[in-house]
Amino acid sequence: MSDLLEDVRNFLDITWDMDIRERKKLSGIVERGKKYLEGKIGQCDFESETQEKDLLLNYCMYARAGQVDEFIKNYKSEIISLQMRSFQRKAGGCDAKT
């Protein structure tokens, strides 16, 4: 099991041995969360202790409860902040090359 999936299990307080169905479901939630956040923010670092990883962990908590709409509403400002930071990094990178 990947380190990220273990981090998600720890965050969600899943202390029991998951069967194959539970692992598949949780892995799907993690992958959908990664795709969602990368679609909104751009390239993300989910392996280090970053704001993106924190958002992913919370996405997984909300998704597991069937409340992704609430996640979007509650974390909208953080997502926008990361979008702006990503845009600034890209703009700064372009300026540095010219």
pTM of the model: 0.87
pLDDT band for position 86 (cuts 50, 70, 90):
confident
Decide: helix, strand or coil at residue 85.
helix
pLDDT above 60 (res 94): no
The percentage of the chain sitting over the pLDDT mark of 90, rounded to a whole number, equals 83
Q: State the SS3 of 25-77.
A: HHHHHHHHHHHHHHHHHCCCCCCCCCHHHHHHHHHHHHHHCCCHHHHHHHCHH
Query: What Cα–Cα distance (Å) separates residue 81 from each residue in 2, 24, 31, 56, 75?
Result: 28, 31, 22, 15, 10
Query: What Cα–Cα distance (Å) separates residue 71 from each residue in 1, 17, 66, 80, 84?
Result: 26, 27, 10, 13, 19
pLDDT tens digits along 55-65: 999 999 999 99
pLDDT above 80 (res 5): yes
